[in-house]
Structure 1
């Protein structure tokens, strides 16, 4: 099915990244992690010493960083100003600040335009928080992944060191609130999206279900 666009939305820890990459690999499609793009901009703002409590300061520099996002599901790459930031953008500092940067309309406008450019004519799986609602509302398939708060926190804790399930659950609750209540492109389930609760599913089961849904659309 040429021109396929699969939009995978949902909160942190719902399994978007692993499932999206798995689906892309299974179908030989490209893969785009839009969350990494917001993290990369956040990393750059921190690197440049921008006051992240000042939306105007963030907005004034939103067009400065040169962002290059790869689309290989086997090895997603992302660079800012020629620097490989695939590792640094996963730091606790960036995680704690990304919702502040992502809430700035100028940042969102720039990245949405870039994301649409990368999507182009399709053949891609795109994950994020506003793919089905804003970036690609006409996607072939829109999936909204969810999971219980405890399951999400447990998964994230397994990926990190020096943290606890309780701490992660509190951090995720804070980020969910920020993402779902921001004025510009808040996190929400798109019209026509299929909600998939991954709490009791392993990765292979989630991928299989998304592949089944794609087959239905095809």
Structure 2
């Protein structure tokens, strides 16, 4: 089991999927789960600051995650929402929704169910998020905290948004990265932080291939190749 944590814009999703595919593992993007619940909240016309209503919507939401790293899916009420949950409306509201303790409790329970199922698979699972090594699966065979400078993360986020057809500019993205960092690190429940036994990997000067190379070396050093854990 590989737990990959870190702030927004470090390339966690891209490298996690590639690593899982290379290892023959399944893949879980826990951030997408919080985004899907946030989308449900927005669709319901609920203010993300209205905790009671957010919890009500979260409990009623029908959420399903596909864990194939080559074709991961996020289904809300039976419909694929991967593109929609990456939009600016969800991005602006997800930190507030994910800070609600009852929402985290609900989704962590679902994440642990999926992880428990994956433990029986030969390749295990690569799980990415912000509290995987500290809360969700603290006994992971390898914990990595992926980081990068705010400038690098903002540039990556902007490039990804443009590539996906979303309107984006570097200045506003940089401000959003800093806002997300403050909210995620400052929340009361399961704040973003590096686990004591996690390996920190700074990707500021690395491309995707470079990060993947470093992660693969770490996996090999822990004996976590297919069927090893």
Fold conserved between structures, TM > 0.5: yes
Are 2:23 and 1:18 equivalent residues in the alignment?
no
Between the aligned partners of 1:9 and 1:43, the Cα distance in structure 2 is: 22
**1:185 corresponds to:** 190
Between the aligned partners of 1:18 and 1:205, the Cα distance in structure 2 is: 12
After the TM superposition, list the runs of 4 or more consecutive aligned residues in structure 1 that deviate by more than 6 angstroms. Answer: none
Q: In the TM superposition, what is the alpha-carbon distance from 1:115 to its structure 2 partner?
A: 0.4
Q: In the TM superposition, what is the alpha-carbon distance from 1:106 to its structure 2 partner?
A: 0.8
The alignment yields a C-alpha RMSD, in angstroms, of: 0.9
User: Deviations along 1:171-191, whole A, 9 cap, x unmatched?
Assistant: 010011000000010000011
Gaps in structure 2 of 5+ consecutive residues: 224-229
Are 2:92 and 1:91 equivalent residues in the alignment?
no
Secondary structure of the structure 2 residue equivalent to 1:45:
helix
- TM-score, structure 1 as length reference: 0.96
**2:226 corresponds to:** none
Between the aligned partners of 2:18 and 2:53, the Cα distance in structure 1 is: 38
8 Å CA contact retained: 2:40, 2:58: no
Between the aligned partners of 1:60 and 1:94, the Cα distance in structure 2 is: 18
- The total of aligned residue pairs comes to 214
Q: In the TM superposition, what is the alpha-carbon distance from 1:16 to its structure 2 partner?
A: 0.5
Are 2:199 and 1:194 equivalent residues in the alignment?
yes
**1:78 corresponds to:** 74
What aligned pairs does 1:112-191 form with structure 2 within 5 A after superposition? 112-120=108-116, 121-122=118-119, 123-160=124-161, 161-191=166-196
Gaps in structure 1 of 5+ consecutive residues: none
- TM-score, structure 2 as length reference: 0.92
